[in-house]
Amino acid sequence: MKTDKSRYAHSGPGQFVMNHWPVLAWFMLYLLIAGALQLYTSYPPDFDTAYHVAVGRLMSQYGILHSFPWTPFSWLADNYTDDKILFHLLFVPLANLNWVTAVRIVGTIAGATILLTLYLILRSERVRYAGLWALVPLIGSEYFIIRFVVVRPHLLSISVALVFLWAAVRGRFKILAVVSAIYPWLYIAFWQLAVLLLIAAETARFLAGRKLQWKPAVIVAAGIAIGVLIHPNAENLFAYNWLVMTEVLFKGGWLAREGFDLGKELAPYPLIGWLKGLSISVLLIFAAAIYAWRNRREEVVPLAFTLAALGFCILTIKSARFAEYFVPFSAAAMALSSRWIKWRFLAPAVVAVSLILTVVVGRPTMVYLSKIQEDIPPALASKFRQFIPKGSQVFTTGWETTGTLMLTLPERYFIVALDPTLFYMKDKELYRLWYRLVHEAPPETVTTIRQTFGARYVIVDWARDKSKFNNRLFSTRGVRLLYSTPFWMVFDLGPPAVPKESSGPEKKSG
């Protein structure tokens, strides 16, 4: 039997490139842009990034983690849950690189994936200038630029959220099942975000006069259940999720529980800052809402993305964290609604105006990103390792810098990472004692650190703001200051006192 060789004459990699060259070209551009922003950012602008790199390095050394003894006073020490395991796995093959270089590589890939995901969705919906529209989130908000260069799990979550909503509305159930199963391996709010996006999809269907569907909810529930069941830390996943949602976000962040310094990330933007940083996204979602509503019976996808963007917009009023979703979803909503706008050059005009406004308004942010200083330069890191031997329990006065310290001082032990609430949830009284020592510095501070926390070495971060604590250590006999800068102080409390014979057995001390 004769074979028709013409069917295979143009198959192979060459033909694939010919058929998909626009996708490949845009992806290369997105990689170039994301990589350039990572290189432009002189140093990772947040502390949590270092923690995630540290976890990736620990996984490369010990495999999948089921406990976290490096922060023994944390809830995670005995109830470890890696809700971001897929993100941490990205750092495993990069464990031997300089950690900042590893961050830039992961940030480039994850950031470009957001832009590519948005482009592919818009391309599948036959949106004109899909490649340009995909750039709008990045050039339309200085806040999104900051979140874009901060290399943390939200970068992967944004891409998954975009695909999730599109698949739910379009009935692409296989894709919806896959992304639903991925979420418990990727993001702390794995079911909350899924519920919000499903509500947006079904509300849009209802407002468009279409029949509500039950299959997306069932598929999502099944996908999430499978993702949880096969997760290596499945037994703790929901408990950790609930702890973060209730104790960290609601009580600690939104209700500003006294005695917890959670930083500014969970707080809302000031009104003027909100208007400056998100004005383009607000205008886009306002225009998208008009066109998506008018044409809702013709097409439901634009309305679904508009409703999701509106939901995230409302949440940004309460917490700055949600800007990372609001900005790309608003751009997607406007791009999808642009099919009803006859002006051919709408997308280039939006890109040009967004770029000009962001350059004018966001110039201080861009200058800041280019001048961030290293937290612990190599020379200082070497000194820290000389001062503090391996295996030491280190008393730390904060939680933000634990990731940096874990990278600088591997095989040492610290108080708590990620969030002080994790310390509080393990031992409320011990947390209150730690907080009192750091902020009030009573006369027995050094003795308590030695006996209760088992630490000989103390590292003070934000030293300029902890003068009372520093002075207490300075004034205590036997304490030595090993190093001092406006940011860092390192103290040696001295060896444990030898107990008298009548005092009983000697207590272990770090």
pLDDT (tens digit per residue) in 140-151: 888 899 999 999
Of the pLDDT bands very low, low, confident and very high (cuts 50, 70, 90), residue 433 is: very high
pLDDT at site 262 = 55
Q: Which residues lie below 8 Å from residue 147, measured CB to CB, with a gap of 6+?
A: 154, 323, 324
Within 13 Å of residue 324, how many CA atoms lie on the same side as its CB? 23
Selection from 20, 279, 308 nearest residue 162 by Cα: 308
| pLDDT at 506 exceeding the cut of 70 | no
Phi, psi of 245 (to 5 degrees): -65, -45
Q: Is the pTM of this model over 0.85?
A: yes
Whole-angstrom distance, CA of residue 234 vs CA of residue 137: 35
Residue ranges per domain, the chain?
Answer: 20-370, 378-503
pLDDT at site 370 = 93
pLDDT at site 507 = 38
Whole-angstrom distance, CA of residue 432 vs CA of residue 239: 23
Residue whose tokens read 């009023």: 317
Distance linking the first and last C-alpha atoms of the chain: 81
Q: Alpha helix locations (H) across 140-270?
A: 142-149, 154-170, 173-182, 192-207, 215-229, 234-243
pLDDT (tens digit per residue) in 7-44: 444 555 566 556 678 899 999 999 999 999 999 999 99
* H or E element at residue 489: strand 489-492
Q: 219-233, 263-277, 282-296, 320-334: which range is least confident on average? A: 263-277
Selection from 188, 186, 193, 183 nearest residue 244 by Cα: 188
Q: In the chain, what percentage of residues exceed pLDDT 70? A: 89
Tokens coding 318? 């309460």
Contact 99, 442 (CB under 8 A): no
pLDDT (tens digit per residue) in 84-134: 999 999 999 999 999 999 999 999 999 999 999 999 999 999 999 999 999
pLDDT (tens digit per residue) in 293-321: 999 999 999 999 999 999 999 998 887 78
Mode of pairing for the β-strands spanning 480-484 and 489-492 = antiparallel
